[in-house]
Structure 1
Amino acid sequence: MKITGKEIIALGFKSAKWFPEAIAHINDNALSKDEMIVYLEQFKVETIGLLENPADFKINIKAENELEEINVNSVTKSMEVLMKTPTIVDGAIMPDACPTGASGTIPVGGIVVAKNAIHPGMHSADICCSVMLTDFGDTNPKAVLDAAHSITHFGPGGRDRNTQFRFPADLLAEIEANPFLNNQKCISAARSHLGTQGDGNHFLFVGKSKKTGNTMLITHHGSRGFGANLYSRGMKIAEQFRKELSPKTLKQNAWIPFDTEEGKNYWEALQIIRKWTKKNHEVLHDATLQKLGIQQENRFWNEHNFVFKDGDLFYHAKGATPLDAKFMPDITGPRLIPLNMAEPVLIVEGNTTENNLGFAPHGAGRNVSRTQHRKSKTGTNEEIFATETKGLDIRFFSNEIDITELPTAYKNAATVRNQMDEFGLGEVIDEVLPFGCIMAGNWQKNAPWRNKRRQDKKK
């Protein structure tokens, strides 16, 4: 009698990729039931429980008022739960840390080190969120901001065919060769989202170097829909492994074992996303230079939301700036830490210590959610905007003010800088003093679907 997958499942096995091979072997060799059971022993997987003693993590943050105390306690408790994940060996939290998601979810400003495992939930959908600086020399900062404003693209969706940037053929070939990325949805997003910045806290900042007086353009964004598609597929694969290997692990902390075909392909997909995101910065900077007819004097960049590999250890930085050069193979200069639109962007260098694990903060972070901040403000949006952006050229691409991106929505910048010094999280070697900034703004206020709803109500 020919056996099928039903007989194997009846023996306590879950359907898996090895089923067809095993079924063929059993039938081709006419194994008896006892022989079949012995043969199938090799496919048994011992599930992995949570760590009885959570892995240690370093705390590079301290509360200086009641609001910060609530934030720090929440972040710490979430990390304590997360560090029970069986792949985890080390971790740290930075001064800009703030909670996101349910308990056990990596916080913004968190670093988690896993052995031979990639956790998609620990880099989230905004893979390779990063910052790039181009030195425009003695160019007028308003000219740079105006030129960049005419070129950049904020908000949902991508560019239409008439305004798309030319897509690099070599990058397209890499995308098509990777099983995680070679689908029409990914490729379409990669093409149309090139040269776009999205929404939220992403920005285009222009200012002057405190040291040289040169005008600097800095962009901040991630991998847009291209990266979000990879994240979605990665989470599905990680969940399959979680159910098989460690069902007690929280779903948001599921992982893809690196020593599997899926793990190798996912790692390569992350590197392709990284290349795309760097190119996304470059096309905006280069087009601005071209419009002004000038040459760059310097350029450097760093991601602060990514997975970095060192041997068999995978450093998941959910909003943390890599200081150690081993994390960035193409490093060409110091690192960038933006705080808020009214504060300088910090240019930093630093050494790896036991406390910082080779990282610095990635920004100022938040003590309260956007909703809480919005409710805490009094006055009109215009009044709040005028007060918080006085003396600066602040623009919202949608022409709608988003008060949740104004300076008071973020942690106190001086507190973050002081704690960087206290905990040895990088040395400030220069600052880009603010002139102006462009952000998406509240694009949802006049989004097409909202306008349609308003029109329908009037009928």
Structure 2
Amino acid sequence: MAKPTKLHGSDLRKLGYPEGNVINLALDILEDRQLSKLDKGSALALLRKIKEDPYAYLRDSLWRELAKAFVPDPSRKVGLNPEIKDYRRYDEAFIEDGARQQTDTAMQLPITLDGALMPDAHQGYGLPIGGVLAVDNAVIPYGVGMDIGCRMALSVFALPPHYLDQRTQELKKLLHANTRFGGKEVFKNPTDDPILDRPEFKEIAVVRGKRDAASSQLGSSGSGNHFVEWGVVDITIDDNELNLPVGHYLGLLSHSGSRGLGAAIAQHYTKVAMSKCPLPPEARYLAWLDLDSQEGQEYWRAMNLAGDYASACHRDIHRRLSQALGEKPLAKVENHHNFAWKETLADGREAIVHRKGATPAGAGVLGIIPGSMTAPGFIVRGRGEQDSIQSASHGAGRKMSRTQAKQQLSEGNVRRYLRDHGIELIGGGLDEAPMAYKDIHQVMAHQRDLVDVLGSFTPRIVRMDAGGGGKSKYGGE
């Protein structure tokens, strides 16, 4: 059995241990006779736990001194700038105070270069949903968010809208058979996608043990506001990058992200950032990783892996349903949020642009901005507006929190509301009722300078997570 004495400094550096006394201290402790029977893998796992959660080892006489090395030193706490940098707010009267306050705090970070707040903004963790933040050579894990690379994907088919009325039950069955939601539903035979062969699964510690889970969850969707839905695509502009004539089509729209893989990455690197970059309490979730650091480079690679994995999930969803429908899409549109991009600002500065619940809207960039399940979404082309840091909203945005929706809405009213709007819902809950969302038309009215509208998507048959079983409380299967 391999002994811990065979560990070398290079092994600890791969875990993110800093050069110098900390590595020497760890190796010295591992030579203690109490640990002589630990194999190399167990020793490395233990050292990783101490680094990630040092507070749990402060009362352990053997590990106390090593744990202290990873506890943030209050004397090196990073301060905020006293002044709030100016930033553009779209429809300020429409944005809740909590979202505004969170952005104000973000604009005081010493690394901040610019920011913007979209009209669908509401309070979150770190950055608000609908927040855009450009910073200098750093990445903020909670500025990206938990569901890394969450995205919208639309397929447009050469079938008329009345197909939805003629084949309602058939289309509902196709959703049941070819989609999976939440933490427990997976396909018995998941797709073997090239994303699963990426070297990051071997080279980055936090995702090394996540490949099997990522494989089983491929092609599935999360809970909450994630959905797959059939609806009507209405193309209204002849001159469009989709090469579609003006007219009405059957459409398939999906919204989901990077599943458990993205959540694990976000949780791990947020802890790392908070330990390395102690901020005042109101800003603690805005802790960042310098992109010149090992941890910063690791997170950047892991974030891109999660984003590409989210895209692979949507690719599988649309492949399965297109094959089941027996039709090849005429056109596809996909865009993502909850991500960080390397971009050049209007003044020529290089920046890392975080879009947490905000859609990229560079000149000519296509995207989808959904409404609620009873309101249309919009196919858009970005206008490259610099005041918004080439961004737009990622949806209608919530006007009720999930808790408020559950407290204030009744199942009977929601059922009648959906029926009146001709919506077939499979799954879903009160927290995702359409009344919990802002008016998408008002949101779009306040971002006319940010995007051009090429068409719309109106939902008709919607599937969401129901907390198990996929059965709706509102009259669907």
With the shorter chain as reference, the TM-score category is: 0.7 to 0.9
Partner of 2:333: 300
2:219 maps to 1:189: no
Which deviations, in whole Å up to 9, do the C-alpha atoms of 1:188-230 show, x marking residues without a partner?
3211111111111111121122222111101001111011011
Letter of the 2:20 counterpart: F
Q: CA deviation at 1:175?
A: 3.2
* 3-state SS in 1 of match to 2:317: helix
Q: How does 1:132-147 map to 2 (within 5 A)?
A: 132-138=153-159, 140-141=163-164, 142=168, 143-147=170-174
- Distance in 2 (alpha carbons) for counterparts of 1:219 and 1:209: 14
Instruction: Identify if the C-alpha distance between structure 1 residues 406 and 323 changes in structure 2 by more than 3 Å, giving closer, same or farther.
Output: same
- Distance in 2 (alpha carbons) for counterparts of 1:55 and 1:247: 18
Which deviations, in whole Å up to 9, do the C-alpha atoms of 1:30-53 show, x marking residues without a partner?
xxxxxxxxxxxxxxx976432122
Partner of 1:313: 351
- Distance in 2 (alpha carbons) for counterparts of 1:439 and 1:92: 31
- Distance in 2 (alpha carbons) for counterparts of 1:254 and 1:21: 23
- Distance in 1 (alpha carbons) for counterparts of 2:371 and 2:147: 19
2:136 maps to 1:115: yes
Partner of 1:439: 464
Q: CA deviation at 1:172?
A: 2.4
- Distance in 1 (alpha carbons) for counterparts of 2:17 and 2:309: 34
CA contact (8 A) 1:349 1:428 kept: yes
Partner of 1:56: 86
* 3-state SS in 1 of match to 2:431: helix
Letter of the 2:462 counterpart: C
2:371 maps to 1:370: no
CA contact (8 A) 1:148 1:284 kept: no
2:387 maps to 1:386: no
Q: Which runs of 5+ in 2 are unaligned?
A: 1-15, 26-74, 236-246, 345-349, 472-477
CA contact (8 A) 2:251 2:457 kept: yes
Instruction: Identify if the C-alpha distance between structure 1 residues 118 and 249 changes in structure 2 by more than 3 Å, giving closer, same or farther.
Output: farther
* 3-state SS in 2 of match to 1:237: helix
2:291 maps to 1:258: yes
Q: CA deviation at 1:403?
A: 1.9
Q: How does 1:59-98 map to 2 (within 5 A)?
A: 59-63=89-93, 68=94, 71-98=95-122
Q: How does 1:172-187 map to 2 (within 5 A)?
A: 172-184=197-209, 186-187=210-211
Q: Which runs of 5+ in 1 are unaligned?
A: 1-14, 25-44, 326-330, 447-459
What TM-score do you get using the length of structure 2 for normalisation?
0.74
2:336 maps to 1:336: no
Instruction: Identify if the C-alpha distance between structure 1 residues 19 and 426 changes in structure 2 by more than 3 Å, giving closer, same or farther.
Output: same
Q: Which of the numbers 283, 299, 305 marks the counterpart of 1:272?
A: 305
Letter of the 1:214 counterpart: Y
Aligned length: 386
2:175 maps to 1:159: no
Q: How does 1:173-252 map to 2 (within 5 A)?
A: 173-184=198-209, 186-211=210-235, 212-243=247-278, 250-252=283-285
* 3-state SS in 1 of match to 2:420: coil
Letter of the 1:19 counterpart: G
Partner of 2:438: 411
2:23 maps to 1:19: no
CA contact (8 A) 1:178 1:265 kept: no
Letter of the 1:219 counterpart: S
Instruction: Identify if the C-alpha distance between structure 1 residues 60 and 205 changes in structure 2 by more than 3 Å, giving closer, same or farther.
Output: same
- Distance in 1 (alpha carbons) for counterparts of 2:102 and 2:391: 20
Across the aligned residues of Structure 1 and Structure 2, the Cα RMSD in angstroms comes to: 2.8
- Distance in 1 (alpha carbons) for counterparts of 2:429 and 2:180: 17
- Distance in 1 (alpha carbons) for counterparts of 2:280 and 2:225: 35
Instruction: Identify if the C-alpha distance between structure 1 residues 226 and 391 changes in structure 2 by more than 3 Å, giving closer, same or farther.
Output: same
Instruction: Identify if the C-alpha distance between structure 1 residues 56 and 383 changes in structure 2 by more than 3 Å, giving closer, same or farther.
Output: closer
- Distance in 2 (alpha carbons) for counterparts of 1:77 and 1:414: 25
Q: Which of the numbers 362, 369, 373 marks the counterpart of 1:324?
A: 362
More displaced stretch, 307-316 vs 217-226:
307-316
Q: CA deviation at 1:391?
A: 4.2
- Distance in 2 (alpha carbons) for counterparts of 1:393 and 1:262: 46
Q: CA deviation at 1:111?
A: 0.6
CA contact (8 A) 2:277 2:287 kept: yes
CA contact (8 A) 1:164 1:195 kept: no
Q: CA deviation at 1:353?
A: 2.0
- Distance in 2 (alpha carbons) for counterparts of 1:361 and 1:342: 18
Which deviations, in whole Å up to 9, do the C-alpha atoms of 1:117-145 show, x marking residues without a partner?
11001122111110001112116333445
Partner of 1:128: 149
Q: Percent identity?
A: 27
Letter of the 1:336 counterpart: I
Q: CA deviation at 1:21?
A: 9.2
- Distance in 2 (alpha carbons) for counterparts of 1:318 and 1:22: 36
* 3-state SS in 1 of match to 2:398: coil
- Distance in 2 (alpha carbons) for counterparts of 1:217 and 1:394: 14
Partner of 1:33: none
What TM-score do you get using the length of structure 1 for normalisation?
0.77
